[in-house]
Structure 1
Amino acid sequence: MKFLMLVVADPDLTTDEEPVLTIEEWVQETAQSGVNLDGDRLRPPSDAKTVRRRNGKVSVTDGPFVETHEWIAGFDLLECDTIEQAIEVATRHPMATHGTIELRPFWPLELD
């Protein structure tokens, strides 16, 4: 079962709690176990473009559409047997302590 793991930064969050692993340790652990299929950091929202098509017209604007303090800082593509396994993998990511991790199961298109 594939999951998209969104790594969400929250610059307003302050904590003294230390993460379970460093990001380097987490990447090594998940790569060696075969759970992490791909992943990377993302540039900040100031480098983003939002694209919309409305009534045949294309609009491209700077930055994210949503006004929020939190922003998607990275992603990982996980292959896990269960949602519980994906949750366990996510809890060990450093941003589980210093941000938020969002897990989304894939919903494959059933194309005929």
Structure 2
Amino acid sequence: MNAYAIAHLREFRPHPDVPRYIERIQATLAPYSGRFLVHGAQVEVLEGSWPGDVVVIGFPDLARARAWYASPAYQEVLPLRTRHITGDCVIVPGVPAGYDPAETAAKVREAMGHPEATDR
């Protein structure tokens, strides 16, 4: 199952380290089959607020996403970003093939103590 590293980059302070980070990150991703799906894109806010940019990196699985983030190669370049860009980063699993959101809805209803039938 795919996994994703998602960064919400909120506050950017221009510094020569930032382009250095951008130039070096791809080499840290390659050994883990990571690839940029979204990189520094301005978001179109539909609900709420979202100051800043978003980055999404796809991996074949959670193990490789975690291994990339913890790798010595990435940890070496990470401070080039974190010293100058404020943000959050998470790793999340994708949904499995054949995912049915109705099953999730049923689990939520059950957890709420309301296992009534769906509208389908």
SS at match of 2:41: coil
The aligned counterpart of 2:96 is 108
The aligned counterpart of 1:65 is 47
Q: State the Cα deviation string for residues 2-34 of structure 1 (Å, max 9, x = none).
A: 2111121122x77x9x68x71221112312x14
The aligned counterpart of 1:10 is 10
SS at match of 2:70: helix
Bigger Rg, structure 1 or 2: 2
The aligned counterpart of 2:103 is none
Matches within 5 A, 1:1-112: 1-11=1-11, 22-31=21-30, 33-45=31-43, 48=44, 63-69=45-51, 71-80=52-61, 82=63, 84-88=66-70, 93=78, 97=82, 98=85, 99-110=87-98
Higher relative contact order (CA 8 A, sep 6+): 1
Given the superposition, is the C-alpha separation of residues 64 and 86 from structure 1 closer, same or farther in structure 2, using an over 3 Å criterion?
A: farther
SS at match of 1:27: helix
Bigger fraction of residues in helix: 2
Gaps of 5+ in 1: 49-62
Conserved in 2, the CA contact under 8 Å of 1:5 and 1:102? Answer: yes
- Name the TM-score, length of structure 1 as normaliser: 0.54
| Cα shift at 1:38 | 4.0
- Name the TM-score, length of structure 2 as normaliser: 0.51
**Superposition RMSD in Å:** 3.6
Distance 2:22 2:88 in 1: 14
